């Protein structure tokens, strides 16, 4: 298994917005700890973790990642379970970095950290309700009411083998307990959001450290940050097309859900911009392992997908 595919698989099996820079950022009094312009202290029981090395690093190199992690720490979960290991918030901030069990560099470690933290934040912000918390950035978010759904594994019958990417088994042909099954299209949106946030952090970290100059790293970061955009957009649209054809009442409820439509379109637009920026450094679609992703792109150019995007807009 290649390193790229191993990382894709691991991110899909771990259980568990960017903060916009203010025009007055240059006037912020920064603490004496090499913190960056978007540094803000964490409040509450996890306040002492404000100056954890991971947080300082993010405040210098990824304001979007810092924003997610600050919000995550302010919820200060008692413990976090990663692959059967219970971690404190402090341990969780470090677990993916310099850990031989994972073998990630700092950029991919940040990708995984932000992705999993976004999932946790989505749960805590929904206060245990059936609402889905969707976050675009520090200033824009939605509480999306969950309507009736069907499990995403129904799409197995309508997605051809040539359109099945490395994440297909983890999200479409997934366990009945996975969020994409229990919450259907809302679970797919949850993943779409989390991959957007982690992809944005990947881009910011790699660009800040000038790591895109290494062709091997550039394609590694590009694949991990960009490919989920195509996969989850395709799966969400396919879900809606299948619902329209087979479950009209479920489809009508989803399409009447304005926060669902607005949050999906917003994430899709911002995620596409991240992919466009990354493509200036490396083209993930040129990798031999991404033949099926190219097939997905061709599929989404058909009338049914074009019309569904119009309906959502």
pLDDT reading at 6 higher than 80: no
**What pLDDT is attached to residue 240?**
98
Domain count for the chain:
1
DSSP-assigned letter for residue 18:
B
pLDDT reading at 19 higher than 60: no
Query: Closest by alpha carbon to 115, among 57, 192, 48?
Result: 192
Q: What is the mean pLDDT of residues 97-103?
A: 89
pLDDT reading at 313 higher than 80: yes
Q: Tell me: the pLDDT tens digits for 200-215? A: 999 999 999 999 999 9
**What pLDDT is attached to residue 126?**
78
pLDDT reading at 300 higher than 70: yes
Helix, strand, or coil (residue 83): coil
pLDDT reading at 8 higher than 60: no
Spatial distance between the Cα atoms of 55 and 106, rounded to a whole number of angstroms: 13
Say what angle helices 3-13 and 215-246 make with each other, to 10 degrees: 50
pLDDT reading at 128 higher than 50: yes
Q: How far apart are the first and last CA of the chain?
A: 40
Query: Closest by alpha carbon to 46, among 67, 75, 68?
Result: 75
Q: Which residue's structure tokens are 């210098």?
A: 60
**What pLDDT is attached to residue 150?**
97
**What pLDDT is attached to residue 3?**
52
Chain mean position to CA 280: 21
**What pLDDT is attached to residue 187?**
96
**What pLDDT is attached to residue 98?**
87
- Residues 85-111: b if buried by 16+ CB within 10 A, e if exposed: eeeebeebbebbbeeeebebbbbbbbb
- Reported as type and span, the H/E element at residue 72 is helix 63-75
Q: Tell me: the pLDDT tens digits for 44-90? A: 999 999 999 999 999 999 999 999 999 999 999 888 888 788 999 99
Per the document, the length of the chain is 313
Write the CA distances from 124 to 16, 64, 117, 177, 286, integer angstroms: 12, 19, 10, 19, 39
pLDDT reading at 11 higher than 70: no
pLDDT band at 239 (very low <50, low <70, confident <90, very high): very high
Q: What is the mean pLDDT of residues 28-56?
A: 86
- Residues 13-52: b if buried by 16+ CB within 10 A, e if exposed: ebebbbbeeeeeeeeeeeeeeebbebbeebeeebeebbbb
Helix, strand, or coil (residue 98): coil
- Residue 136: domain span: 3-312
**What pLDDT is attached to residue 20?**
38
**What pLDDT is attached to residue 5?**
46
Q: Whole-prediction pTM value?
A: 0.91
pLDDT reading at 117 higher than 60: yes
Find the range with the poorest average confidence among 56-60, 71-75, 129-133, 168-172.
129-133
Q: Tell me: the pLDDT tens digits for 136-158? A: 998 899 999 999 999 999 999 99
**What pLDDT is attached to residue 234?**
98
Q: Which residue's structure tokens are 């991404």?
A: 290
Q: Report the chain's mean pLDDT, rounded to a whole number.
A: 89
pLDDT reading at 28 higher than 90: no
pLDDT reading at 199 higher than 80: yes
């Amino acid at each position: 298994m290649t390193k790229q595919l191993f990382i894709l698989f691991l991110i899909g099996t771990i259980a568990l917005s960017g903060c916009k820079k203010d025009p007055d950022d240059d006037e912020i009094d920064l603490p004496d700890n090499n913190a960056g312009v978007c540094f803000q202290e964490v409040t509450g029981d996890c306040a002492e973790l404000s100056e954890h090395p991971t947080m300082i690093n993010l405040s210098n190199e990824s304001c979007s990642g810092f924003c997610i992690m600050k919000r995550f720490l302010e919820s200060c979960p008692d413990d976090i379970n990663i692959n059967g290991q219970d971690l404190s918030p402090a341990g969780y901030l470090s677990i993916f970095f310099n850990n031989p069990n994972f073998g990630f560099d700092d950029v991919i470690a940040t990708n995984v950290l932000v992705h999993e933290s976004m999932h946790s934040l989505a749960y805590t912000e929904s206060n245990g309700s059936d609402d889905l918390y969707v976050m675009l950035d520090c200033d824009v978010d939605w509480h999306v009411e969950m309507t009736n759904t069907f499990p995403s594994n129904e799409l197995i019958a309508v997605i051809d083998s040539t359109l099945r990417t490395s994440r297909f088994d983890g999200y479409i042909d997934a366990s009945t307990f996975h969020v994409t099954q229990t919450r259907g299209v809302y679970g797919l949106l949850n993943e779409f959001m989390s991959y957007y946030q982690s992809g944005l952090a990947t881009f910011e970290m790699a660009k800040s450290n000038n790591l895109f100059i290494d062709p091997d790293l550039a394609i590694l970061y590009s694949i991990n940050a960009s490919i989920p955009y195509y996969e989850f957009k395709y799966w969400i649209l396919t879900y809606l097309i299948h619902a329209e054809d087979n479950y009209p009442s479920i489809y009508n409820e989803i399409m009447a859900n304005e926060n669902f439509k607005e949050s999906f379109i917003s994430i899709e637009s911002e995620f596409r911009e991240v992919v466009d920026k990354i493509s200036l450094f490396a083209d993930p679609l040129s990798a031999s392992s991404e033949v099926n992703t190219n097939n997905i792109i061709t599929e989404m150019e058909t009338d049914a997908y074009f019309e569904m995007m119009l309906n959502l807009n």
